[in-house]
Amino acid sequence: MVEPLLDVRDLAAGYAGRDVLFGLNCRIWSGELVAMVGPNGHGKTTLLRAISGLVRPSRGEILFAGKPLARLRPDAIVARGVVHVPQGDWLFPGMSVIENLLMGAYLPAAGVRVSDRLDFVLSLLPKLAERRRQLASTLSGGERRMVAIGRGLMAGGSLLMLDEPSLGLAPIVIDQIYEVVFALKGSGRTILLVEENAARVADHADRMLLLDNGAFVWEGSGPDLMVRPEIVETYLGG
C-alpha cells in the first residue's frame, strides 16, 4: 500500500476560537487531482490554510510525506513542498509580473535554475511573457489569476493547492486556466483544488470530496457525483 503524500487526520480548525472544520480526515496520493466541492463558507479555504500553516489547527494532525506539518510556520511548510495558491490571488501589487513570479521562487531549490523555471512557467502562460514588466495592480482578473498560479508553479513543490482558480473570471478565461491545470495534472503533478462549479472538473478529477459544514459528507469520482442529482441540487445549486 503506497503511503499518501498528504494525510489529514481528525483535523479541527477555525478562527477566533470558533472551529469551522470538525474532525476532517482526508488522504491524497501522489499524482492525483483531487477536487473539493461544496457550498461556500463551509471550510474549504480553511482546510487549505490549515495545511499551508496560515491557520493553526485546534486538533488533529497533518502529515506530508510522512512528516507532521501542524505546528510549523508557513514558510517552513512551503520549504517542504506544499504550495498554496490562495483565493483572491494575493499578488504583490507594487511588483511587476516578473517580480511576482520571482518571489514564487524565493526559496532556493536544489539543482534548479530559477531562469529555467521561469522559462517553463512563461511557456505555459504566454500571456504573462507579454506583460512581464507590468505592475501587478494594473492587470486584468484573468491575468492576475495566471500570475498567481505561475507564482505557485515557480515554487516547484510536490503538492499544489489551488483555491477557486475560476473565481470571478469570464468563462473563456476559466477555460484557459483549466487548460493549464489539466496539463499540469497530465504531467504528473499532485493537485488539490477547491472549485465551486463541480461540473468543470468532474471529468478530470481522480476524486471529488464534498465538504459541508466543516465535514466531508461524500467522496467519489467525478462521473459518480454528477449522476447523483440529489447531491448536485442540494449542495451544488443544481
Partner 1 sequence: MTIGAMYAVSTIGLSLVYGSLNMLNMAHGAILTFGGYVCYAAMARVGLPSPLAFGAAILACGALGVLIYLAAAWPLLRSPNFETNIFIATIGIGAIIENAMLKVFGPYPIPQPLAVSGDFVVGHVHVPDQNVFILAVALALMALVAITLERSRFGRAIRATAQHRSAAQLMGVRVGFVYAQVLAISGALAAVSGILVSSIATLTPVMGADPMLKAFIICVVAGLGNVYGAVASAIVLGLMEASVQYLLGVRWSLATLLLIVVIVLIWRPHGLFGRSQEERQ
Binding site for partner 1 (CB under 8 A): 52-54, 73-75, 78-79, 83-84, 86, 90-95, 99, 102-104, 106-107, 151, 155
Instruction: Say which amino acid occupies 232.
Output: V
Q: Are strands 190-194 and 33-37 parallel, antiparallel or unpaired?
A: parallel
Of residues 75 and 130, the one with the C-beta less far from partner 1: 75
Q: Mind spelling out the 3-state secondary structure of 55-108?
A: CCCCEEEEEECCEECCCCCHHHHHHHCEEEECCCCCCCCCCEHHHHHHHHCCCC
Q: Closest distance between partner 1 and the C-beta of residue 98, in Å?
A: 11
Of residues 107 and 112, the one with the C-beta less far from partner 1: 107
Q: Closest distance between partner 1 and the C-beta of residue 61, in Å?
A: 21
Q: Closest distance between partner 1 and the C-beta of residue 94, in Å?
A: 5
Of residues 75 and 175, the one with the C-beta less far from partner 1: 75
Q: Closest distance between partner 1 and the C-beta of residue 93, in Å?
A: 6
Our CA dihedral for 209, 215, 217, 218, rounded to 10 degrees, sits at 20
Of residues 23 and 86, the one with the C-beta less far from partner 1: 86
Q: Closest distance between partner 1 and the C-beta of residue 214, in Å?
A: 22
Of residues 125 and 202, the one with the C-beta less far from partner 1: 125
Burial 218-238 (b: 16+ CB within 10 A, else e): beeebeebbeeeebbeebbee
The answer to whether 5 and 65 are in contact (CB under 8 A) is: yes
